[in-house]
Homo-oligomer: A and B are copies of this chain.
Amino acid sequence: MKSFQKQTACASIGLKLSNVEAGEALFTLPFNSNFTQQHGFMHAGIITTALDTACGYAAFSLMPEDAAVLSIEFKTNLLRPAIGERFLILGKVIKPGRNINFCEATATAIDAHGAETKVATMSASIMAVYDRAISD
């Protein structure tokens, strides 16, 4: 997907697109010791980068080709420390709209034994932008 390649932030943190369906996007984020906070967990802002990206792709999957997506706002809930070998980041549109898409996303840690733990959730409002400058 062309637009994903321009997202240098995603490449820099190692976020990889695994699957996109209508209204849903799944990404994988490996644990990366370059992006931790003071206790050695993945930084909440980096998990948020992944969650926001998953919401944006889920919303984009329902839009016409010429639309662009812009995050208006998101809230991240940090349920547990973000420790694990990798994280599954799943974004879903819970209410599509011509202008506003309400999305939710979850970050699930996978440990060395394959055990899964939900570590964070997001709710986000993603706007579709048509035929005008992004910066409006």
Contacts and interface: CB of A to CB of B under 8 A. Distances in A.
B125 A73 contact: yes
B123 A75 contact: yes
A91 to B, nearest CB: 13
B72 A78 contact: yes
Counted per complex, copies of this chain come to 4
A22 interface: no
Quick one: which of A10, A43, A80, A134 has the most chain B CB within 10 A?
Answer: A43
Contact of A44 (B35, B38, B74): B74
Contact of A9 (B6, B36, B74): B36
B52 A34 contact: no
B68 A80 contact: no
Nearest to A46: B9
Contacts of A46: 9, 45, 49
Interface of A: 3-4, 6-12, 33-40, 42-46, 48-53, 56, 68, 70-81, 83, 94-95, 97-100, 102, 104, 118, 121, 123, 125, 127, 134-136
